[in-house]
Amino acid sequence: MQGLYVITDGSTGDALLSKVEQALRGGAAIVQYRDKTTDQVWREQEATALRSLCRDHHALFIINDDVALAKSVQADGVHVGRDDSALSAAREVLGNTAIIGVSCYNQLQLALNAAEQGADYIAFGSFFPSPTKPNAPRATLELLHQARQQLTLPICAIGGITLDNAPDLLANGADMLAVITDVFSSPAIAEQASRYQALVRKHSLVQSA
């Protein structure tokens, strides 16, 4: 897993689908649907539509913290939080082929535990001030570097990411850049997503040279 990992911004209905489609046209590799406010029927309808968009663009579709919804709409996987039982419970429901990501905040030990328990990727953050979660614990580039040395799992960085600070995250071991505001608040979403993908490709070329 590698590339731009967009997380939905709270938009709903046609606005949500339009934004996500633009991000996918720009090359977003992964889409996470995060909505804990609307009713279950509405969320299932939105998730089904988003899953179809992702498949049309050959991108992965992940549900935030709702294993039942992920199973119902046949998402590619689910992203869960710090609860030690969440990963094993999700695996039991979704099976061995599902992608399960785990939030590890600013704690390397959580990532090591998640890897041992069979996570498919881990996420650290917030690395920078974020309007989405302003009080989130702050992760450091040193943590990212240490995790890269100790883990073979794909690593996702999240929190206040911009085109200016993304190169430092990639240089210290991030495989995926999870972005909300800097993509979905852009007046040109597809172009902004494309810029992120170009950064990741450039870094990959440098690493393989």
Instruction: Answer with the residue of higher pLDDT: 134 or 60.
Output: 60
The CA distances from residue 60 to 8, 129, 197, in Å, are 14, 27, 15
The whole-number pLDDT of residue 136 equals: 78
The whole-number pLDDT of residue 84 equals: 62
Please give the annotated binding residues for Mg(2+), written as ranges: 65, 84
Q: Which residues contact 81 (CB under 8 A, 6 or more apart)?
A: 65, 102, 103
pLDDT per residue as tens digits for the range 72-129: 999 999 999 877 679 999 999 999 999 999 999 999 999 999 999 999 999 999 999 8
pTM score: 0.96
pLDDT per residue as tens digits for the range 19-63: 999 999 999 999 999 998 778 999 999 999 999 999 999 999 999
Q: Which residues contact 134 (CB under 8 A, 6 or more apart)?
A: none
Neighbours of 9 (CB within 10 A): 18
pLDDT per residue as tens digits for the range 155-192: 999 999 999 999 999 999 999 999 999 999 999 999 99
Tokens 């800097």: give the residue: 182
Whole-number average pLDDT of the chain: 95
The whole-number pLDDT of residue 23 equals: 99
Please give the annotated binding residues, written as ranges: 32-36, 64-65, 84, 103, 130-133, 160, 180-181
DSSP 139: P
Q: List domains and CATH numbers for the chain.
A: 3-208 (3.20.20.70)
The CA distances from residue 55 to 31, 33, 152, 184, in Å, are 11, 14, 27, 20
